[in-house]
Structure 1
Amino acid sequence: MNALAAGEVSPGLLGFLVVAALGFALYFLVKSMNKQMSKIDLPHAGEPDDGKAK
Structure 2
Amino acid sequence: MLPLAVPLNDDTVSPGLLGFGVFLALVVATVFLIRSMNKQMKKIQAPREADLKQQEWERAQAARAAAESEGRAAAPSGGAAVRPEPGPGGDRPSGGA
**TM-score, structure 1 as length reference:** 0.75
Offset from partner CA, 1:1-48 (integer Å, 9 cap, x none)? xxxx51132000000000000000000000000000110110011112
Alpha-carbon separation, structure 2, partners of 1:7 and 1:33 = 43
Alpha-carbon separation, structure 2, partners of 1:6 and 1:31 = 45
1:15 counterpart = 2:19: yes
Alpha-carbon separation, structure 2, partners of 1:38 and 1:6 = 55
Residue 43 of structure 1: which of 47, 50, 53 is its match? 47
Which has the greater radius of gyration?
2
Partner of 2:65: none
* Counterpart mapping for 1:23-38 below 5 A: 23-38=27-42
- Choose between structure 1 and 2 for higher RCO, CA contacts under 8 A separated by at least 6 residues: 2
Partner of 2:91: none
Moved over 2 A (4+): 48-51
Q: Which runs of 5+ in 1 are unaligned?
A: none
Identity of matched residues, %? 49
